[in-house]
Structure 1
Amino acid sequence: MSLLSPLWLIALIILPLYLWGARRYRWHRQAWMMVSVFFLILSLTRPVLSEKPISVEESGSDVILAVDVSYSMRATDIAPNRLEAAKKALSEIVRSDSRDRFAVMAHTTSAIVLSPLTKDTELLEYLFASLDESQIITKGTEVMSALELARKMSHAQHPLVVLFTDGGDELSYEEEAAYAEEKGLRVCIVMLATSGGSTLPSENGSLKDEEGHIVVSSRNDAINTIAEQSGGKVIEGADAEAVREWIERERSEDFAGESTVTRYSELFYFPLVLALIAFVLAYTSVGEKVSKSLIPLLALVGISANAGLLDYPYQTLGSYAYSHGNYERSAQWYGRIDSERGRFNRAASLYKMGKYQDALAMYRTIRSEEPLFKSKVFYNMANCHIRLSEFENARTALLKSLTLSYTPQADQNLRAIAGAQEQKSLNVRKEKKDQFTSDENKPTGEGKKSKEGGGSNMQSDIASSGAGDAGKKAQADPRFSTSQGKAALSSKQYELINQRSVHETKPW
């Protein structure tokens, strides 16, 4: 059993407070009320039983979301400012559309890939939240670079491109419109500016030009030519619903495949029924007669609610088997832990056994909102794809890992397979030993190297229920902290956004 909303357990603190406040009243009634509140809180945590993952066929469109991040997007004529309005709309779009694949790019005088095509909503929303406009200093917009990069990001015949922009500063976009029409791009322009425009905030008040005049940025309707000529649409303001409707209308089957879906059996109604029964007993004579059994009952419920603590023996045994090279036994022990970390550790053991397909399938069932943990999952998935000579999938997974958290190991692996082709053998230990990192998948919390070599940069630096985590303190990663209000993209990404050129084979 696992809990989908364990944060509700914090509410249990009200029980001792309630007991202290009600100590002068009839004990049996208050005891049953405490039981009722306990079960009610337990039902709110959504206890579930995991079922066997199933494969679901899916198809949809390739949608490239291009965000103008030039200095003019700080204007406040669209509240709170143009870029913040764009980020909010972007989150609403990807959150409401689970059918299509989305890619994200940022562009000023050059364009840079922030995320390749993916259906991972959590990854995309993290990207939008992490984009810090204060790090962007480029003034000026070149739309052609965004269209060219959009065409390279999708092999679809007619990919959908959504440009979030204030129109840029070009007098004519005839060349860009002709390019979009020729390359089969269907472009939707989301106009994030008004005719009256707005001043641009700076450290000294409002931004001024070289002659000392205050700069006012207003909309440039010349860019609408691109949408009109490519068969797209112009949308006024950050209207996420209008964008979603346009995507729905223009949808085509640009990709087809299968995804692994984890299903759960909800158990919340059991504690909810018990909460109602306890509430009734609190106000009846029957409850007074059986109140003596309240303490054993609470003890039993407490053990059930903390079933995760019983996973400790499996964690210990799995960690011991892994560290001694008994990966098959390690996978068996980890398989008894019903948690995301347990599945992560089981997949790591399967990887060491050479069962790369099984490990990959296990990694795909993992769901988490922790960016660092997701980065490690994508990195390990990439290693599985490399072992299977699926280099295109490996490159995509490594880009996702680097997007969430930059690590030298992921960067090194991406460089090592840059020229690798599908279905060609790649002996990581021999042919590419000088290029491809020897760091491999490993259970979280492991501190020793396994017999088959290859320590791991994938050690968990956050508290978890994975093997070997007990007794270890969480370590903060200097690149990301979940306690911060806004996580920054890597300095390399901002450097590429602000410069006037970008290396196409290494856009990150």
Structure 2
Amino acid sequence: MSFLTPLWLIALILLPPYLWGARRYGWHMQIWLMVSLLFLILSLTRPVIPEKPITVEEAGSDVILAVDVSYSMRATDIAPTRLDAAKRVLHQIIAQDREDRFGVLAHTTSAIILSPLTKDTELLTHLFASLDESQIITKGTEVMSALELARKMSHAQHPLVVLFSDGGDELSYEKEAAYAEENGLKVCIVMLASAQGSTLPSEEGSLKDEDGHIVVSSRNDAINLIAEQSGGKVIDGADATSVIEWIERERSEDFAGSTTVTRYQELFYFPLVLALIAFVLAYTSVGERVSKAFIPLLALVGISANAGLLDYPYQTLGSYAYSHGNYERSAQWYGRIDSEGGRFNRAASLYKMGKYQEALAIYRTIRSEEPLFKSKVFYNMANCHIRLSEFENARTALLKSLTLSYTPQADQNLRAIAGAQEQKSLNVRKEKKDQFTSDENKPTGEGKKSKEGGGSNMQSDIASSGAGDAGKKAQADPRFSTSQGKAALSSKQYELINQRSVHETKPW
């Protein structure tokens, strides 16, 4: 077995972090969705079993696609530009015609081969996409050079030439028409210009001639003589369907040969079906019963079975907002997680906002049988009581915390409020700063304490919590510094300056 699109296997790197999230924050729905994702990725890799190669006979016409890339093709009367419209038609022809060989040439006052005759559609598609007209500054057009080069590119008796142009500059194309007829070229003219014409963009606005007059480029129907005399056709506008129909009608066996084709037996539908089954199990009671059958085994790796589908993204967003000092947004994200850990982290965010009563109310709703977690809940409740000058309740909460798990911080805080009275106003940050601490649950990597609300009272790596590293101090905005006495400009301001939209002396 092999894979036709093995690059999709790179997507498997998404599974370990997803598995980590499911392991910490839920099992039933998460694990089935992970299994569904795994099989979906395998399906996208297109697993196949190679079969015996076969030989296919093929024949078709030689088709030369000649594109005018002179300056006038930048006109916008054919949206978005004449040249872009030509590229679009070229893509459509290559994508739909699998029988013929295509060669590509570009011409202005001279012609060059962009691609010899080939059936490699990927090569031609890349060629059209990489054609950069901004590098072409020639303003003239000579059609004869394109016809002569087209004749040299093919040994067929009557190769087909599709000429994308706005008509060029000549008043008469009798010589070109005679050359096409004498050399067996069947020319289809794709007219990419309108009768009213269009101005041509330039650095000064619109292109002007030597006398300072604005140049207007419109279609030149004199070029139609080449199609009429060579037995071809004139097509108005970027009509790929008409071009393909003309090629099919004029097709001949200019070349014949055989190619070896490797056939495969597709197997993608097997993992696709399994992915659909796993997805259904994630949202049905059947999946819950199946997953519960494996809970004793999964308990060995500490997988819980109570998280929702979006708990992991919510806790990640909450952690990010918390670490950047956006505690209000952090509280909103954590508020969407229906778990003890989610409530714990929401209360911690509210504490950082100075909303001690709200944080305390949430802490009181948390239920857990884990002594370490309960100890941290009581410790945080004590910090809220201290901020509210409810010292008796704070002492009770600290004693409960120390009973469940001893920590030096809880012991220190208990000693710091030993003589405090309920009616006494205590600014802990100023009066007891060397005795009182609320950093027992300080997240990993936190710098100096934030000024919003109280100190950090959040432990994010507990077994049922979901706010890893949620407590880093938000960095100061680098665009303004009072110590430096000047402000750095944002990228938007630079953009406005470049557009001359900012007053140089009064930028406000």
TM-score between both structures, scaled by the size of structure 2: 0.55
Which residues in structure 2 correspond to 1:10-21 (within 5 Å)?
Answer: 11-12=11-12, 15=15, 18-19=18-19
8 Å Cα contact 1:164/1:191 also seen in 2: yes
Paired residue type of 1:246? W
CA pair 224-270 structure 1, distance change in 2 beyond 3 A: same
Which of residues 292, 296, 300 in structure 2 aligns to 1:288? 292
Kindly state the Cα deviation for residue 33 of structure 1 after the two structures are TM-superposed. Answer: 3.1
Paired residue type of 1:107? H
Paired residue type of 1:62? D
8 Å Cα contact 1:32/1:291 also seen in 2: no
Secondary structure of 1:163's counterpart equals strand
Kindly state the Cα deviation for residue 287 of structure 1 after the two structures are TM-superposed. Answer: 4.2
8 Å Cα contact 2:51/2:263 also seen in 1: yes
Taking the aligned partners of 2:259 and 2:78, their CA distance within structure 1 comes to 38
Which digits, 9 at most, give the CA deviation of each residue in 1:221-242, with x for residues without a partner?
0000111111111011111111
Paired residue type of 2:292? E
Taking the aligned partners of 1:281 and 1:293, their CA distance within structure 2 comes to 19
Which residues in structure 2 correspond to 1:446-465 (within 5 Å)?
Answer: none
Of residues 39-48 and 149-158 in structure 1, the stretch that sits farther from structure 2 once superposed is 39-48
Kindly state the Cα deviation for residue 44 of structure 1 after the two structures are TM-superposed. Answer: 2.2
8 Å Cα contact 2:22/2:31 also seen in 1: no
Paired residue type of 2:34? M
Which residues in structure 2 correspond to 1:82-121 (within 5 Å)?
Answer: 82-121=82-121
Of residues 270-279 and 168-177 in structure 1, the stretch that sits farther from structure 2 once superposed is 270-279
Secondary structure of 2:115's counterpart equals strand
Paired residue type of 2:257? G
Taking the aligned partners of 1:50 and 1:291, their CA distance within structure 2 comes to 41
Taking the aligned partners of 2:238 and 2:220, their CA distance within structure 1 comes to 16
Taking the aligned partners of 2:276 and 2:133, their CA distance within structure 1 comes to 51
Kindly state the Cα deviation for residue 26 of structure 1 after the two structures are TM-superposed. Answer: 5.8
Kindly state the Cα deviation for residue 289 of structure 1 after the two structures are TM-superposed. Answer: 2.2
Match of 1:180 in 2: 180
8 Å Cα contact 1:28/1:291 also seen in 2: no
Match of 1:433 in 2: none
Match of 2:43 in 1: 43
CA pair 25-106 structure 1, distance change in 2 beyond 3 A: closer
Taking the aligned partners of 1:292 and 1:181, their CA distance within structure 2 comes to 85
Kindly state the Cα deviation for residue 12 of structure 1 after the two structures are TM-superposed. Answer: 4.2
Whether 1:68 aligns to 2:68 is yes
8 Å Cα contact 1:50/1:264 also seen in 2: yes
8 Å Cα contact 1:73/1:82 also seen in 2: yes
Taking the aligned partners of 1:176 and 1:227, their CA distance within structure 2 comes to 10
Taking the aligned partners of 1:281 and 1:197, their CA distance within structure 2 comes to 62
CA pair 26-144 structure 1, distance change in 2 beyond 3 A: closer
Kindly state the Cα deviation for residue 212 of structure 1 after the two structures are TM-superposed. Answer: 1.0
8 Å Cα contact 2:197/2:216 also seen in 1: yes
Query: Aligned residue pairs: how many?
Result: 296
Kindly state the Cα deviation for residue 129 of structure 1 after the two structures are TM-superposed. Answer: 1.2
CA pair 211-267 structure 1, distance change in 2 beyond 3 A: same
Match of 2:319 in 1: none
8 Å Cα contact 1:104/1:115 also seen in 2: yes
TM-score between both structures, scaled by the size of structure 1: 0.55
Secondary structure of 1:64's counterpart equals strand
Give the aligned CA root-mean-square deviation in angstroms: 2.4
Taking the aligned partners of 2:250 and 2:192, their CA distance within structure 1 comes to 22
Kindly state the Cα deviation for residue 14 of structure 1 after the two structures are TM-superposed. Answer: 5.1
8 Å Cα contact 2:111/2:145 also seen in 1: yes
Name stretches of at least 5 consecutive residues in structure 1 with no aligned partner. 296-508
CA pair 292-28 structure 1, distance change in 2 beyond 3 A: farther
Taking the aligned partners of 2:214 and 2:281, their CA distance within structure 1 comes to 73
8 Å Cα contact 1:4/1:46 also seen in 2: yes
Larger Rg: 2
8 Å Cα contact 1:71/1:137 also seen in 2: yes
CA pair 196-293 structure 1, distance change in 2 beyond 3 A: farther
Which residues in structure 2 correspond to 1:126-145 (within 5 Å)?
Answer: 126-145=126-145
Which residues in structure 2 correspond to 1:148-167 (within 5 Å)?
Answer: 148-167=148-167
